[in-house]
């Protein structure tokens, strides 16, 4: 399993200054735009490491003596050419979330791409001893990643101040784990556990909500603000997921997993519905090898129903995890849903989900590796397909290599800037919205 690799820190121009003066252009003073070289320039290799993408409260302080630009439009124009030749633009948005998204649109490309990365640390997985050095987590945070995933045996990281320190400011780091309950849950290592979903599925929804809220508060105490749970998969043969599923009945899954999601959100933890479009009736476990579900027409009568209902009831307050699943009648042969543009379009256009879509893990899952897809290819294909964040186990050097690859993909036209900006807007909106209120996520 994953071992932190040796790494070289790359410089990424922080969006802190740009973001603060777009948000504050209406009144408070803010610093002038940074003139730092974008990451990847010839001069960046000897510069000092950039800070994380979070925006500390001090950035918005009125104590700065620098004079802000008269309007946001002037700021944007000055980065693209002489201000006198810039065409008139609309006033800066008054909605703070929209203003934050607009500011992020001015970031250097590498900074945008970093925000779409979800780096996973999973050293303690299975019987593998040890835990990730917090300095490796700090390095990827400093590189500007949008999120980190902490595996359930990473006790050292759960107890490290590195993750909680990255929660401050307008754009907190997303810190995720698998807090499902039962055998897939970190909290037996650090706090009170929950039983598996199949057992909780027999509870009254209010009891589930209260238990999930307490569980979410325990997660928040360890800096977690995104839970890759609950499952919306139906139980059923050949049963690759076991007691991780809530029920075989779509209405029961909607009610019970929905109560769990509401409780998480109340604790300030964004829930994630997985594994779209439904892994419960697949032929094998996608963790181990490529998995095939029933055909799309069959899924639409049952497995897809909880995803449709839950993404509507939790609109703006949840993520969806896309599965590495072959779906006859939907996916291209040999290409899992998570990497398939047509299948991702179904999620957006037919299911109607317009929030953050994050992939299932891309570096170690058999459903990817046994197809012979290298990690850099998988990450690129996932973003091109329509995911907003790519989840993969790795370290600082892996991140640097993949960002290099993605920058080249944009330069070559394989990954469009429009697709990058669409994904970035969803990630920034989630972070800045405060839709699930809690420390570091209140906007």
Which candidate in 142, 233, 303, 360 is catalytic? 360
* Yes or no: domain 110-433 corresponds to CATH 1.10.220.10: no
Task: Please give the pLDDT value at position 124.
Answer: 66
Rounded CA-CA distance 168/256 in Å is: 32
Per the structure block, which two tokens stand in for 139?
């390095």
Counts of helices then strands in the chain (DSSP H, E) = 18, 10
Task: Please say if 275 is a catalytic residue.
Answer: no
Per the structure block, which two tokens stand in for 308?
């449709």
Task: Please give the pLDDT value at position 49.
Answer: 37
Per the structure block, which two tokens stand in for 253?
């899954």
Task: Please give the pLDDT value at position 125.
Answer: 58
Task: Please say if 168 is a catalytic residue.
Answer: no
Going by the DSSP 8-state scheme, the letter that residue 56 receives in this structure is -
Task: Please give the pLDDT value at position 89.
Answer: 54
Q: What is the largest CA-CA distance in the chain?
A: 67
Contact 12, 144 (CB under 8 A): yes
Task: Please give the pLDDT value at position 315.
Answer: 97
Task: Please give the pLDDT value at position 397.
Answer: 95
Task: Please give the pLDDT value at position 320.
Answer: 98
- Domain borders along the chain are 16-107, 110-433
Task: Please give the pLDDT value at position 126.
Answer: 59
**Count of alpha carbons within 13 angstroms of residue 238, beta-carbon side:** 9
Antiparallel, parallel or unpaired: β 325-326 and 291-292: parallel
Rounded CA-CA distance 148/183 in Å is: 21
Rounded CA-CA distance 411/396 in Å is: 23
Q: Which residue, 267, 259, 192, is CA-closest to 223?
A: 267
Task: Please give the pLDDT value at position 129.
Answer: 64
User: In a structure prediction context, what are the per-residue pLDDT tens digits for the chain, which is 443 residues long?
Assistant: 333 333 333 333 444 434 443 443 333 333 333 333 333 333 333 333 333 343 333 333 333 333 333 333 323 222 223 333 444 455 566 799 999 999 999 999 999 999 999 999 988 655 666 788 999 999 999 999 999 999 888 888 888 899 999 987 778 999 999 999 999 987 777 678 899 999 999 999 999 999 999 999 999 999 999 999 999 999 998 889 999 999 999 999 999 999 999 999 999 999 999 999 999 999 999 999 999 999 999 999 999 999 999 999 999 999 999 999 999 999 999 999 999 999 999 999 999 999 999 999 999 999 999 999 999 999 999 999 999 999 999 999 999 999 999 999 999 999 999 999 999 999 999 999 999 985 444 33
State in Å, rounded, how far the first CA of the chain is from the last one. Answer: 36
pTM: 0.80
Contact 101, 428 (CB under 8 A): yes
Which candidate in 215, 275, 279, 281 is catalytic? 281
Q: What is the DSSP string of 9-28?
A: ------SHHHHHHHHTTTSS
Task: Please give the pLDDT value at position 393.
Answer: 95
What percentage of the chain's residues is helix, strand, coil (to nearest 5)?
A: 40, 10, 50
Q: Which residue, 157, 165, 104, is CA-closest to 439?
A: 165
């Amino acid at each position: 399993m994953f071992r932190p690799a040796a790494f070289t820190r790359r410089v990424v121009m922080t969006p802190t200054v740009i973001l603060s003066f777009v948000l504050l252009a209406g009144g408070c003073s803010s610093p002038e735009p940074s003139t730092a070289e974008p990451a990847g320039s010839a001069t960046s290799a000897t510069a000092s490491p950039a800070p994380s993408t979070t925006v500390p409260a001090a950035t918005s302080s009125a104590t700065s003596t620098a004079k802000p630009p008269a309007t946001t439009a002037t700021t944007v124009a000055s980065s693209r050419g002489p201000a006198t030749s810039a065409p008139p633009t609309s006033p800066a948005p008054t909605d703070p979330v929209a203003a934050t998204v607009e500011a992020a649109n001015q970031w250097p490309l590498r900074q945008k791409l970093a925000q779409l990365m979800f780096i996973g640390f999973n050293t303690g997985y299975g019987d593998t001893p040890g835990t990730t050095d917090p300095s490796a987590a700090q390095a990827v945070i400093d590189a500007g990643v949008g999120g980190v995933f902490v595996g359930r045996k990473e006790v050292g990281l759960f107890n490290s101040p590195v993750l909680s320190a990255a929660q401050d400011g307008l754009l907190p780091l997303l810190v995720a784990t698998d807090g499902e309950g039962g055998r897939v849950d970190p909290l037996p290592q650090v706090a009170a556990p929950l039983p598996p979903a199949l057992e909780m599925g027999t509870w009254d929804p209010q009891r589930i909500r209260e238990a999930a809220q307490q569980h979410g508060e325990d997660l928040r105490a360890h800096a977690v603000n995104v839970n890759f749970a609950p499952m919306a998969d139906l139980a059923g043969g050949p049963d690759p997921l076991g007691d991780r599923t809530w029920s075989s009945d779509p209405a029961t899954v909607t009610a019970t997993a929905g109560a769990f999601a509401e409780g998480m959100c109340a604790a300030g933890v964004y829930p994630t519905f997985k594994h779209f479009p439904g892994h419960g009736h697949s032929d094998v476990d996608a963790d181990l090898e490529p998995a095939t579900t029933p055909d799309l027409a069959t899924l639409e009568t049952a497995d897809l129903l909880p995803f449709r209902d839950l993404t509507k009831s939790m609109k703006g307050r949840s993520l969806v995890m896309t599965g590495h699943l072959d779906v006859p009648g939907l996916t291209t042969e040999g290409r899992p849903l998570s990497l398939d543009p047509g299948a991702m379009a179904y999620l957006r256009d037919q299911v109607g989900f317009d929030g953050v879509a994050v992939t299932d893990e891309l570096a170690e899952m058999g459903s990817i590796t046994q197809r012979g897809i290298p990690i850099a290819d998988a990450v690129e294909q996932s973003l091109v397909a329509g995911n907003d964040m790519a989840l993969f186990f790795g370290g600082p050097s892996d991140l640097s290599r993949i960002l290099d690859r993605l920058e080249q993909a944009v330069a070559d036209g394989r990954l469009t800037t429009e697709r990058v900006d669409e994904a970035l807007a969803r990630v920034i909106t989630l972070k800045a919205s405060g839709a699930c209120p809690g420390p570091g996520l209140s906007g």
